[in-house]
A = this chain, B = another copy of it.
Amino acid sequence: MYGAGDVRVENAPDPAIQQPTDAIVRIVRSCICGSDLHPYHSLPASERGTPMGHEFLGVIEDLGSQVSGLRRGDVVVAPFAYSDNTCAFCREGLHTSCLSGGFWASGGVGGGQAEAIRVPQAQGTLVKLPVGEDSELLSSLLTLADVYGTGYHAAKQAHVNPGTTVAVIGDGAVGLMAVLSAKRLGAEQIILMGRHDARTKLGIDFGATDVVPERGAEGVEKVRELTGGQGVHAVLEAVGYMNAYETAVGVVRPGGVISRVGVPQYEDAAIGFASLFGPNITLTGGPAPVRAYIDQLLPDVLEGRVEPGRVFDQAIVLEQVPDGYRAMDERTALKVLIQP
């Protein structure tokens, strides 16, 4: 990406092992993330493009000498942050704060919207998948790289359980995965706030019990009506804009939790007596430590009990990536799968 709206597909040097803890992965599936749209809207123009993409699965092509437990030819999925899986933060399940970790497409590491990628901390980062590279499950398995784990993080951080009433703000892929996750954790009332028919229908398939297309004060009122006037125990906020935060404050119940996984596009917001403090609201969330959740979420995907891959409604090849960004930006696609 060379600036807002300027995505180009270019030849780049093949990645190679640099550290003994690296691996090289040939990418079999990757995709475009809702969060990629933020730079697509606002990245300053530059002569030096930046690599893009942080969700991929593929086949191990090469391994550094210190990587054990993995072999060439293994089909693996990578979380959207790499991590050693051994440091104090990883041991607490916060792989996104790994002391040896980092994020794709920065600091000399490539992006996932590519044919191949160098994976630092390969042993801690990559999770072997017991499928072939022609498996029909690849789309669903790819969601473990980000959106399913991110939706699950929202629900886990909000302590969703069978007694919890839930509102999910946003019907993008992460919002829909938050619905699926709340359902998995037993929530009996899951209100999806979104206005795109095809997406909210998928949300109902994933477990939403109510859909509220209204926004702002009207949307808040609708959610309150659906919860006996009291609001919901857990708000899973999967958008990141200030109006989504304001809606979250409006629909949450006293004593409830606002769990954010949409990357905030604001820094300051209301958290004083009138908003969070007076009614004892908890605010939580952040970049999901997806690595911590893959092992938990994998069996249901492998056994077909859930189909998170249904969020992909368009598939393209690498050369079409600029069209993929456009489709997601124009909301003609929910989430675009890339098959290099």
A19 to B273, CA, bound (A): 30
Contact B278 A287 (CB under 8 A): yes
Closest Cβ of chain B to A232, distance in Å, is 13
Contact A89 B255 (CB under 8 A): yes
A92 interface residue (CB < 8 Å to B): yes
In the complex, residue of chain B having the shortest beta-carbon distance to the beta carbon of A261: B277
A13 neighbours in B (Cβ, 8 Å): none
A272 interface residue (CB < 8 Å to B): yes
A4-12, A105-113, A263-271: which lies at the interface:
A263-271
The secondary structure that dominates the A interface is mixed
In the complex, residue of chain B having the shortest beta-carbon distance to the beta carbon of A263: B273
A316 to B92, CA, bound (A): 50
A230 to B268, CA, bound (A): 24
Given contacts A94-B255, A255-B97, contact A271 B282 (CB under 8 A): no
Contact B287 A260 (CB under 8 A): no
> Which residues, 185 to 234 on A, are CB-close (under 8 Å) to B?
230
In the complex, residue of chain B having the shortest beta-carbon distance to the beta carbon of A265: B272
> Which residues, 152 to 170 on A, are CB-close (under 8 Å) to B?
157
A332 interface residue (CB < 8 Å to B): no
Closest Cβ of chain B to A336, distance in Å, is 25
Closest Cβ of chain B to A225, distance in Å, is 17
What residues make up the interface of A, taking CB atoms closer than 8 Å to B?
A: 88-89, 92-94, 96-97, 157, 230, 254-255, 260, 263-264, 266-287, 289
Contact A286 B280 (CB under 8 A): yes
Contact A283 B283 (CB under 8 A): yes
A96 neighbours in B (Cβ, 8 Å): 280
A281 to B276, CA, bound (A): 15
A280 neighbours in B (Cβ, 8 Å): 94, 96-97, 284-287, 289
Beyond the given pairs A268-B268, A268-B270, A276-B286, 10 more chain A to chain B contacts, judged by CB atoms under 8 angstroms and listed by A's residue number, are A88-B230, A92-B255, A96-B280, A97-B279, A97-B280, A263-B277, A264-B273, A269-B271, A277-B287, A280-B289
Contact B273 A267 (CB under 8 A): yes
Q: List 9 A-B contacts (CB under 8 A).
A: A97-B279, A263-B273, A264-B273, A267-B273, A276-B286, A278-B287, A280-B285, A281-B286, A283-B284
Closest Cβ of chain B to A28, distance in Å, is 30
A268 neighbours in B (Cβ, 8 Å): 268-272
Contact A275 B267 (CB under 8 A): yes
A267 neighbours in B (Cβ, 8 Å): 270-275
Closest Cβ of chain B to A297, distance in Å, is 19
A276 to B255, CA, bound (A): 20
Contact B272 A276 (CB under 8 A): no
A285 neighbours in B (Cβ, 8 Å): 277, 280
A157 to B282, CA, bound (A): 9
A277 to B157, CA, bound (A): 13
Contact B279 A272 (CB under 8 A): no
